[in-house]
Amino acid sequence: MTTIDLDREALESLDVSRAELWQANAWRPLFTRLRAEDPVSYCPESFFGPYWSITRYDDIVAVESDPATFSSSWEHGGIVIFDMQDTGVQLRMFIAMDDPEHAEKRKAVAPAVTPSEIAKLTGALRQRTEDILDGLPVGEPFDWVHNVSIPLTTAMIATLFDFPWEERDKLPEWSDWAAKIDIGPDPVLNAERERHVFEMAARFREIYEERRAAPPKADLLSMMAHSDSYGDMDEQRFIGAIALLLVGGNDTTRNSMSGLIDQINKFPDAWAQVKSDPARLASGAATETIRLQTPIAHMRRTATRDVEFQGKQVSKGDKLVLWYNSGNRDEAVFPDADRWNPARENSRRHLSFGYGIHRCLGARLAELQVATLVEEMARRDMEVKIVGEPERLPSCFTNGFEHLPVTVSRGDG
């Protein structure tokens, strides 16, 4: 594992975006320091250029509450630390648009994820969770990411899109490539990314046209195909819309399911409590996991004018990185913040789903998936032990696991 000498890091040039910090899971002390000593701090130089770090909970909420001053638009660079203009595939997603276009497009897909629509998915979701858990080897090491987190999330996304079931293994591959927005200007990697993204777009375009020619149904693609605000989208917007729903639902929920195992290994007593009373604690266990894992570590905004923020002079065009991983550990809001506490009263206030007009559209669905996994593990009296070094992603955006070696035991006979 990389060793990072935190004492030698000078505050004025602290660059928390470095991939190795995330891969080594070594970012916590740096953010603790920023929150305490320089909560709105300027990093003059990084792989992604200069950026502001916003690290306290209230400041993140303040920035997200003022979308006119702090824009999400791809025209200014978009919603991640890497400028979207610099990539071949720019992904014009509504997450990277300001109102009114954002609101219009959000409204068109929102009906697919209302509580009543989600309720219709619960049976299938539970069944798939049960099938996957019951197929796991007992007492033998395996990779939780590839045997549980990925297949379970992929099944859910395929159901939401009503994507051909036999082709579903393509979804995580496309999603992973679409999400690689922090690869920088590397031409080889960008060409590879484009290839996957265009393949995804071509297949989705075919299905989209089929749905458009057929009567409306309740899946996401049919809803988009029959909505006025999607209708005839240009190619960049089409790719963006698909990639948003794919990445939005894929890597995030997957990494929550892996993060759950990380937490129950760190807090076995709390896991024992959840198992003894899942009806009361499963939903808190899911929320606490999503808070502490923070599968999307940051969103970015760009200042549309010169503005003073918390005593700092932010200039028009500056990028502000909202570190949700840090806001979620702000002791002013979450006492004993590093503790996974399924009974925590205000856990739902976490920032992992963002805040304000762009707050995650799939939040309820994601919580339901993770809570269902917790319930079914509890019902089987499952213990999942990490038996090797977890391999983490080298990314300050998708905060998660490549591999998580575990063994499973069951107390239910």
Site for ligand HEM in 364-393 (CB under 6 A): 365-366
Site for ligand HEM in 94-113 (CB under 6 A): 94-95, 102, 106, 113
Interface with ligand HEM, residue 244, by CB under 6 A: yes
Interface with ligand HEM, residue 399, by CB under 6 A: no
Cβ-based nearer residue to ligand HEM, 38 or 402: 402
Between 119 and 158, how does the x/- string for binding to ligand HEM read (CB under 6 A)?
Answer: ----------------------------------------
Interface with ligand HEM, residue 204, by CB under 6 A: no
Q: Count other C-beta atoms under 10 Å from residue 75's C-beta.
A: 14
- The one among 51, 353, 397, 401 contacting ligand HEM by CB under 6 A: 353
- The token pair at 1 is 């594992």
Dihedrals φ, ψ of 161, to 5°?
A: -85, -10
Question: Minimal distance in Å, beta carbon 366 to ligand HEM?
Answer: 3
What is the 3-class SS of the chain, one letter each residue? Answer: CCCCCHHHCCHHHCCCCCHHHHHCCCCHHHHHHHHHHCCEEEECCCCCCCEEEECCHHHHHHHHCCCCCEECCHHHCCCCCCCHHHCCCCCCCHHHCCCCHHHHHHHHHHHHHCHHHHHHHHHHHHHHHHHHHHCCCCCCCEEHHHHHHHHHHHHHHHHHHCCCHHHCCHHHHHHHHHHCCCCCCCHHHHHHHHHHHHHHHHHHHHHHHHHHHCCCCCCHHHHHHCCCCCCCCCHHHHHHHHHHHHHHHCHHHHHHHHHHHHHHHHCHHHHHHHHHCHHHHHHHHHHHHHHHHCCECEEEEEECCCEEECCEEECCCCEEEEEHHHHCCCCCCCCCCCCCCCCCCCHHHCCCCCCHHHCCCCHHHHHHHHHHHHHHHHHCCEEEEECCCCEECCCCCECCEEECEEEEEECCC
- The one among 359, 381, 388, 389 contacting ligand HEM by CB under 6 A: 359
- The one among 352, 372, 395, 399 contacting ligand HEM by CB under 6 A: 352
Site for ligand HEM in 272-311 (CB under 6 A): 290, 295-296, 299
Cβ-based nearer residue to ligand HEM, 35 or 102: 102
- Taking contact as CB under 6 A, which single stretch among the options 164-172, 262-270, 303-311, 348-356 is the one that binds ligand HEM? 348-356
Cβ proximity of 4 and 20 under 8 Å: yes
Question: Minimal distance in Å, beta carbon 250 to ligand HEM?
Answer: 8
- The token pair at 57 is 């909970």
Question: Minimal distance in Å, beta carbon 356 to ligand HEM?
Answer: 6
- The one among 63, 136, 360, 396 contacting ligand HEM by CB under 6 A: 360
Interface with ligand HEM, residue 253, by CB under 6 A: yes
Site for ligand HEM in 45-74 (CB under 6 A): 64
Interface with ligand HEM, residue 354, by CB under 6 A: yes
Question: Minimal distance in Å, beta carbon 160 to ligand HEM?
Answer: 6
Cβ-based nearer residue to ligand HEM, 145 or 245: 245
- The one among 278, 362, 390, 400 contacting ligand HEM by CB under 6 A: 362
Question: Minimal distance in Å, beta carbon 112 to ligand HEM?
Answer: 8
Question: Minimal distance in Å, beta carbon 400 to ligand HEM?
Answer: 10
Q: Which residues bind ligand HEM (CB under 6 A)?
A: 64, 94-95, 102, 106, 113, 160, 244-245, 248-249, 252-253, 256, 290, 295-296, 299, 352-356, 358-362, 365-366
